[in-house]
Structure 1
């Protein structure tokens, strides 16, 4: 394996070069990009020796640049300090980890409240619901396939829920996921391999290399006959069902909780059927540092043989491990795509 030294720059709140400030105490940086509902994370890792390094104040901002050269460096994210992890072992010594989060407004969205959404107050589609739900909490971008959907039954109620919990539930019921990113809220379409704007994300190329590890589990895709969700038909006064059929198997499933409308029941059944088709395999692949690798992107494996190469993979978690003046690896956790 040919070792390459990555370019790494961390900028503090005053524009200072933190690598100069931290010096040789910095032993590594771990950056994690997740697809589902969790803010991205950066961890700065240090050796801990006297005099002990000061802990930054909560919310202290950092900007991370990483690449294989200064000219080609990519901004991987903006992060704010959240907490410190200090530990030690007799043989390995002590370490300090500064754990930073990619979205500094997430706490604002945990406040519990109630709210209703209907056509009369400007909420005819899910795109309008998400825009009004996150008003004042950063820019919102919703995948077009989700944004254009009509509000199920013409009415939605958020009752004693936080903004983030209600949004997560609504997204999941419609085949989406909520992702906070750099002061923005993205509503992604699960399993699409697309950005929130509906554009195809660049495929992560994962060639086999005996110098890098991989680990995967794959089982035959579960074949369902139908998935159904119930709703109360207020005109008939009866509990009706919407079904999603399409699998060739004999098994079926009935979702336990009734939806509030026929449209909502249909969306729930479709989302559940899609999820069943996705979680049939998982993989973990490692490669040389890849600045273009992002969670949610499709992954193309080559050289691993059957059945890995023939399987459609989607990145769920992308982790960059950078050791200053030593090396940089990217690990990609994957699931099979529908």
Structure 2
């Protein structure tokens, strides 16, 4: 028996709008991002007579294979609509949706001091405050939450930009996801709940198409980060060696404390791994594939298979009428 994909799109008027749309619905695409950007979904229809749904309309998407259970891809809100056409494909209407409906609030600019006297002092408390300003809760990795931050100032900066900047400095990734501000350790293949993500297995014999680009990064023997010691009135330096030959790689700016200097030096090490690479793989639909998961490549040779890869994004495109489901996995070298 050949497994056939199915998709369920529930909206404000129906538990499943797909039968109502029928052949007018050409495809449903979902893109899961591992980085800072919100996840997206695109519903592609045949062009007019349909009128676009209002901005903010909420859809929930599930998909799977018959027989089998449906995977929940989450809820999305309409952000914009695009129209186009060609002699080959005809006219289409694309309804673009994003997963985080609080992203507009995260773009609001403002200024604020973050120090222990104000009830902060750690990365976790700062991220929780930023999330609260956007009207949501924060889900922060315990390792990241415990990092001491003696002082930070947000000056005419958006919540998201400030959160992203802080995350970069302390080796974290921040992402609006599932109605929360999720902050995780960079390079850790974990979900927002802290559980390890199952690896995505990709066999060369089963892919529709692929490409990989690998380059060797410049070698450094250590990273160096400076910090100002107010008690001694001088600049201190923290080093982190990582077993290569070559000169040191130094941070451009001073950090506020020794603890942050150590963390920054360690974070720079992860960014200076020996090999850097990207790639993409197109395959049969895999509902279990999610961004941020480790990727294991087999049959591609030692030069590719021996490198540790992680999924930077995963896109699913489902054709309800034609019965097709294609998953595209974008990969990068794991720090």
TMscore range, shorter length: over 0.9
1:44 alignment partner in structure 2:
43
Structure 1 residue aligned with 2:115, among 111, 115, 118? 118
Q: How does 1:117-156 map to 2 (within 5 A)?
A: 117-136=114-133, 137-151=135-149, 154-156=150-152
Number of residue-to-residue matches in the alignment: 333
Structure 2 residue aligned with 1:169, among 146, 165, 177? 165
Deviates more, 1:176-185 or 1:212-221: 212-221
Q: How does 1:100-249 map to 2 (within 5 A)?
A: 100-136=97-133, 137-151=135-149, 154-220=150-216, 222-249=218-245
C-alpha distance in 2, partners of 1:127/1:196? 14
1:261 alignment partner in structure 2:
257
Distance 1:317 1:174, change over 3 A: same
Q: Which runs of 4+ in 1 moved over 6 A?
A: none
Note the C-alpha offset of 1:16: 4.2
Note the C-alpha offset of 1:241: 3.0
Note the C-alpha offset of 1:197: 3.7
Structure 1 residue aligned with 2:295, among 299, 302, 306? 299
2:19 alignment partner in structure 1:
20
C-alpha distance in 1, partners of 2:186/2:154? 23
Unaligned runs of 5+ residues in structure 2 are none
C-alpha distance in 2, partners of 1:278/1:192? 18
1:82 alignment partner in structure 2:
79
Deviations 1:91-115 (A, max 9, x none): 4321111000001111011111112
Note the C-alpha offset of 1:55: 0.9
Distance 1:91 1:203, change over 3 A: closer
Note the C-alpha offset of 1:68: 0.8
RMSD of aligned Cα (Å): 2.0
Deviates more, 1:231-240 or 1:189-198: 231-240
TM-score (norm: length of structure 1): 0.92
Note the C-alpha offset of 1:215: 0.9
Unaligned runs of 5+ residues in structure 1 are none
